[in-house]
């Protein structure tokens, strides 16, 4: 999982690329490097860690170059293993995102012919293969090289002899920015927005040649045209906007994100066409991480409102579990649209006969091209590794899908739609209590373990809350259905294990109070997340996070935002690197 960039135009290439890489550091930040073509030579620098102040770095004068920010998959983080990688002659440089699964056999083959390798990476075999195939035509050499590769790749290649870049993609994201007399190619849109809002999304199998002022795209050896699209985001959308961290900014953007998503799909009625789902007998969600938790909430909504049986599968495990799906609607949820396990699961679901729907945040991403149908979440760019606003946007789309699948008349669902319409204001009500949440978080920050509990829809709420806490504060946090505590987890309770309880105003409320009493009997600190009018819970808990009261179905939104703030302020109190938690990357583009 890495970020790559390439530039050719009238500007100094190293400055453009380093700036672009800084916007891609959420994709990888253990090392980085830049190569620039200068007077028929390739000049490069490689460094460990984050980029820092780009003004302190200078590679060489030149208007064509490539760069890379790394999240290690082959070889430990080091300057030697950092990209770009060159061939034996030093004339060819390559940056790569993905995994070459047959790199070891290729490396041994190349070594038998005298090639000498300097790194532990899979990427270096690409530069050496290109060297063997290069006869003056870089595009031809790259085309022959990718024919030998197995795995996934987005790569950009440069040769010292010509102001030209060649790029290719297969199962890894790559987008071209088309400016005025300049071109910039990168793993994601934020790297491009400083220079242009016009982009071309490359498709699997595309090979791209970038020249000064022009580009050509080839597929299966034939020249093809791809649509130039205009990105609706401004560069400010990818900046912190005065907040200390992207995560906090993105939490505070949630009311607007809900409004934007509702505006897209809800006017007088739900503007979602689900005619493609006619005749399905079940729904299967396939997702990973936070999107998996959104899927669990989607299961609750669809089964409750539409009465359709729902399964939720980890995308990474679905690959090994392939049930018949001839009357199944497979819903894939992925923020980036590039999550490798989810993409592979989508392909398998289609082969098994399922109709596929992708719920995704990124226009033109790979998931949108695999799926039969697509719904966009309209969350805008999300920079922090921890998903916040994109998760809530996924939930809003799932509410609308569940309501549409329910077959209820407009009048029957009007009360629920009214509740959805006021959701932006309800979330603002949660954000108004940030100071109280911060005070509780600071008290929790000294603990090393936590437990989250809930019942019904509160279970996936608890699971997502625990994930947020563990990934950014590094506190070990686990989530359980409250009824499962007595089946093992009770052994972990005590005065050093706080318990976070999500109480929803439904048939589970009274029994949750009973579970909380049992927890308190084990001397654990209890923090309850509940409605602002809940006067009963204070008798049994140590701290209360109050959120605006809403129908139990919609507590997934209000409670989740409160738990996002709790995780954020706990991590901040512990001095953690919030936007870039250790060992994690934003887009998981390898299986």
Catalytically annotated residue among 2, 107, 171, 572: 2
pLDDT, residue 591, reads 56
Catalytically annotated residue among 91, 107, 249, 586: 586
**Distances in whole angstroms, Cα of residue 374 to Cα of each of 97, 261, 355, 357:** 25, 14, 11, 6
pLDDT, residue 260, reads 87
pLDDT, residue 53, reads 58
List the structure tokens of 412.
């029957």
The verdict on whether 2 is a catalytic residue reads: yes
Distance CA 295, CA 459 (A): 12
Q: What is the dihedral of CA 438, 441, 445, 446, to 10 degrees?
A: 110
The verdict on whether 107 is a catalytic residue reads: no
pLDDT, residue 1, reads 59
User: Within the chain, which residues score under 50 in pLDDT?
Assistant: none
Could you tell me which residues come within 8 angstroms of residue 111 by beta carbon, excluding any fewer than 6 positions away? 117
pLDDT, residue 430, reads 98
Distance CA 492, CA 413 (A): 43
Burial profile 192-219: b = 16 or more Cβ within 10 angstroms, e = fewer: bbebbbebbbbbbebbbbbeeeebebbe
**Which of these, 210, 211, 206, lies nearest to 222 by C-alpha position?**
206
- Domain ranges, ordered by start, for the chain: 3-236, 240-421, 432-591
Domain covering 432-591, topology: Rossmann fold (3.40.50)
Distance CA 342, CA 317 (A): 10
- Phi, psi (deg, nearest 5) at residue 528: -105, 135
Could you tell me which residues come within 8 angstroms of residue 118 by beta carbon, excluding any fewer than 6 positions away? 80, 124
The helix (H) or strand (E) run that includes residue 332 is strand 328-334
List the structure tokens of 261.
């998503």
Contact 77, 48 (CB under 8 A): yes
Distance of CA 335 to the CA centre of its chain: 5
List the structure tokens of 554.
């919609």
pLDDT, residue 586, reads 64
Domain 3-236 and domain 240-421 have a common topology:
no
pLDDT, residue 23, reads 87
Q: Look-up: residue for tokens 């031809």? A: 140
- Phi, psi (deg, nearest 5) at residue 450: -140, 160
CATH annotation of 240-421: 3.40.50.10490
Q: Which parts of 392-458 are beta strand (E)?
A: 449-454
The helix (H) or strand (E) run that includes residue 391 is helix 389-406
Distance CA 386, CA 472 (A): 7
Distance of CA 95 to the CA centre of its chain: 21
Beta-bridge partner residues of 153: 98, 171
pLDDT, residue 588, reads 62
Distance CA 520, CA 562 (A): 22
pLDDT, residue 410, reads 87
Q: Look-up: residue for tokens 């907040």? A: 243
What is the reported pTM? 0.76
* DSSP secondary structure code for residue 118 in this structure: -
Q: Which tens digit of pLDDT belongs to each residue from 510-568?
A: 999 999 999 998 989 999 999 999 989 999 999 999 999 999 999 999 999 999 999 99
Domain covering 3-236, topology: 3.60.20
């Amino acid at each position: 999982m890495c970020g790559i960039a390439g530039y050719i135009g009238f500007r100094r290439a190293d400055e453009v690329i380093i700036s672009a890489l800084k916007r891609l550091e959420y994709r990888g930040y253990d090392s980085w490097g830049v190569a620039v073509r200068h007077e028929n030579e390739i000049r490069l620098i490689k460094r460990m860690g984050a980029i820092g102040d780009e003004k302190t770095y200078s590679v060489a004068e030149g208007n064509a170059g490539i760069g890379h920010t790394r999240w290690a998959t082959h070889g430990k983080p080091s300057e030697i293993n950092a990209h770009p990688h060159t061939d034996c002659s030093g004339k060819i440089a390559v940056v790569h995102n993905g995994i070459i699964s047959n790199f070891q056999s290729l490396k041994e083959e190349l070594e038998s012919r005298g090639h000498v390798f300097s790194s532990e990476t899979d990427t270096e075999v690409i530069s050496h293969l290109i060297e063997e195939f290069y006869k003056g035509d870089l595009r031809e050499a790259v085309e022959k090289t990718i024919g030998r590769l197995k795995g996934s790749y987005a790569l950009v290649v440069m040769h010292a002899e010509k102001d030209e870049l060649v790029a290719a993609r297969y199962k890894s994201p790559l987008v071209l920015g088309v400016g005025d007399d300049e071109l910039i190619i990168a793993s994601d849109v934020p790297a491009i927005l400083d220079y242009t809002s016009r982009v071309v999304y490359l498709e699997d199998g595309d090979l791209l040649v970038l020249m000064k002022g022009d580009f050509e795209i080839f597929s299966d050896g034939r020249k093809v045209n791809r649509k130039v699209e205009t990105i609706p985001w401004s560069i400010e959308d990818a900046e912190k906007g005065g907040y200390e961290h992207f995560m906090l900014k993105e939490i505070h953007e949630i009311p607007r994100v809900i409004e934007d998503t509702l505006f897209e799909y809800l006017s007088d009625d739900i503007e979602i066409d689900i005619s493609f789902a006619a005749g399905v007998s079940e729904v299967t969600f396939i997702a990973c991480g936070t999107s998996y938790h959104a899927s669990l909430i989607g299961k609750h909504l669809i089964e409750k409102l539409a009465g359709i049986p729902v399964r939720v599968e980890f995308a990474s495990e679905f690959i090994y579990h392939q049930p018949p799906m001839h009357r199944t609607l497979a819903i894939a949820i992925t923020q980036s649209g590039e999550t490798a396990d989810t993409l592979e699961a989508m392909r398998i679901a289609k082969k098994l006969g399922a109709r596929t729907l992708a719920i995704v945040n990124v226009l033109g991403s790979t998931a949108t091209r695999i799926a039969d149908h697509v719904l966009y979440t309209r969350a805008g760019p999300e920079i922090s590794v921890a998903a916040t606003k994109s998760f809530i946007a996924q939930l809003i789309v799932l509410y609308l899908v569940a309501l549409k699948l329910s077959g209820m008349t407009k009048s029957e669902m009007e009360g629920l739609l009214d509740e959805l319409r006021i959701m932006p204001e309800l979330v603002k009500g949660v954000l108004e209590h940030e100071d109280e949440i911060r005070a509780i978080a600071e008290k929790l920050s000294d603990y090393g373990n936590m437990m989250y509990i809930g019942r019904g829809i509160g279970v996936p709420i608890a699971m997502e809350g625990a994930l947020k806490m563990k990934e950014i504060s590094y506190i070990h946090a686990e989530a359980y259905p409250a009824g499962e505590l007595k089946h093992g987890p009770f052994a972990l309770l005590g005065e050093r294990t706080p318990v976070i309880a999500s109480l929803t105003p439904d048939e589970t409320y009274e029994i949750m109070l009973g579970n909380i009493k049992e927890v308190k009997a084990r001397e654990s600190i209890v923090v309850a997340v509940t409605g602002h009018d809940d006067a009963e819970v204070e008798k049994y808990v140590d701290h209360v996070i109050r959120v605006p009261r809403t129908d139990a179905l919609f507590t997934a939104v209000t409670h989740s935002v409160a738990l996002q703030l709790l995780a954020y302020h706990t991590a901040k109190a512990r001095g953690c690197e919030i936007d870039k938690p250790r060992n994690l990357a934003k887009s998981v583009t390898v299986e």
